[in-house]
Amino acid sequence: MHLRRHFVLLTACLLCAFGAVRAQNPWTPPVGLRVVFVDVGQGDATIVVGPTGIALLVDAGPTGQGAARVVPELGRLGITRLTHVVLSHYHIDHMGGMPEVFAALPVDHVWDRGTRDEPSIAEYRAYVNAAGTRRRVVSTGQVLDLGGGAIARVLAFDGNVLGLSSQLPIRNTYQQENAASVVLRVEYGDFSMWLGGDLTGGGNNTYDCESKVAAVCGDVDVYKADHHGSSTSSNASIVTLLDPEVAVGSNGTQNPFYHPSTTTINRLNTQYESRLFLDTTEGYGYEGYTQSGTTTITTDGFRYRVISQRGEGHDIYTDEFVQFAAKPSAGELVISELMRAPSASRGQYLEFSNRSPRALCLDGVKIEGNLGFATLATPYRLMPGEAFTVLVNGITSKNGGVTWGHALPYKSFSLGSAYDTIRLSVGATTLDTLSYSSGFPGSNGIAAERIDALGPTVANNFAAATRRYAADFGSPGAINSVDSTKWPLGAHVEVVPDHLSSGRALVTLASGFSSAGAIDVAALSFGNQGIRIGSTTVPLSPDALFTASFEIPGFVSILPVSGEKGVRIPVPPGLTGKTGYFAHFLLSFAGGSLVPATSGAARFAFP
């Protein structure tokens, strides 16, 4: 075939494949499944909404909280009908709000553990009457379809466990009702989550149901802490078998049950495996978790974003994607801020930032100093230019007003107030090191902030913070008040296996910073021989892929002032295994250079 004809046909095929793509910015929250852990005080209520809008409610908190918290949250999510309601067990702090929810909006199906040893309390009768003929008993292995590939599978109820031939002997045991909890595994793509009500794990002389059910469940990304983080639950076996990256507790502030317990906290958040542990309130006030209020998770099946009630949050990779994610190399992750002498006694924090042009996975990043260490076991997805904060204490009222960050394990790490050497590493690779002593910028109540993210980690590249975050000065998790970084255009490709369809997907990421109104042009090609545009050479080749990529929605657009732009595209089967390059450049028609800036070319293999 003539080379030109081959070029034209290939271009036409690529245009057909790319033409209907809908742009998805990889900096924005992922779209798909939504999960909300509602702050109902000392109780539980979890809302799960599938990609097509099918809604599941698991528990509704104590009496009064159904109307006060759950129904408004459903309204915020745009839910006008509940397809499924599951009551994990018959305790008031899970069941009391159910009639209020039933009175507020239509409900199709109500599922629970059945009538064996049913309680005689008024709240139970109110629930039964409100549920009426919609009430059904769950069965092990039952799948609740949430639409768009999302499901909730019943793993256990009332001592019945999927795959076990006989019922567990929970009858007449201490906390029998808790042991009878319905257990669900929620799945969407590679994302998975455990919802276990108040399932017991052997603590305080309860029956160990957790170990049996966890063996059936297997690894998950998110663990809704059983029994509000009580010491009766979250035993060593379930932590090992589920191996979650995120744990979420739901309980009341200064509750009389000491939830979440130190046993649970110290089992889920350790120096060698420091997981993100969130709690909807201050809980009893221990350390090792972050107060997050009503907490939302959104996921597209390969990454998920955890968002606090204040709207702060981070992206996290699913377990299955970690093997594809980029671990930081030396110099890519740098120390960007430290508060070593806060006015609050437990208000120390350390911030580090991604100064590379690519998304980084923080799983395995070790933070160490003269006064301890901790290794992250949560695969955070840190985007170019993004900052990440670790906290000695995650409770806002105790840390001086810091509202978001990763709470380190209890007494695992702290910063020397006068001198210290801080080191970030992954395995044997040192990422960044900072030594300070007297005279280093910052002082009592004032953080030291990095001036130039791209500059060296030395004392004269730090200055005292000038912006308040509460009583003190600093900018934890935000752009530093003294920042003067001149970011270049960067380009990165993140290859994403797509387990929601028969194909695979490619995420292209563009990172650049410029004045408002700049036209940004992104493009793909099979080579990087260089294309001359005006006086600038763009590091791509003028081939069929380059031509076709201009038809991808979002590839030619106005670059946001933030510089955060990206598009996810499906990969046509004919490209699998081929080498590709991605780059982007700015166009200017206001004099000077036609192309004032271009990124380098990111090399990748089509999946």
Q: Is the predicted pLDDT of residue 177 greater than 60, yes or no?
A: yes
Give the Å distances, CA to CA, from 504 to 501, 523, 606: 8, 19, 9
For 344-383, what is each residue's pLDDT tens digit? 999 999 999 999 988 899 999 999 999 999 999 999 999 8
Cα 545 from chain centroid (whole Å): 34
Confidence at residue 290, expressed as pLDDT on a 0 to 100 scale:
98
The domain spans of the chain are 3-22+487-605, 33-317, 325-464
Is the domain defined by 325-464 classed in CATH 2.60.40.1260?
yes
Does 185 score more than 90 pLDDT? Answer: yes
Q: pTM for the whole thing?
A: 0.94
> 378's torsion region: left (phi>0), alpha (psi -120 to 50) or beta?
beta
Alpha-carbon distance values, 102 to 57, 107, 182, 575 (Å) = 11, 7, 20, 52
- The class of domain 33-317 in CATH terms is alpha beta
Q: What are phi and psi of 465, to 5 degrees?
A: -65, 145
Check: CB of residue 460 under 8 Å from CB of residue 387.
no
Express each pLDDT in 452-488 by its tens digit: 999 999 999 999 999 999 999 999 999 999 999 988 8
Q: Is 40 left (phi over 0), alpha (psi -120 to 50) or beta?
A: alpha
Q: Does CATH place domain 3-22+487-605 in 2.20.130?
A: yes
> What residues contact residue 556 under an 8 Å CB cut-off, 6+ apart?
519, 520, 521, 522, 550
Count CB atoms within 10 A of the CB of residue 578: 12
For 28-73, how does the pLDDT look when each residue is reduced to its tens digit (9 = 90+)?
Answer: 888 999 999 999 999 999 999 999 999 999 999 999 999 999 999 9
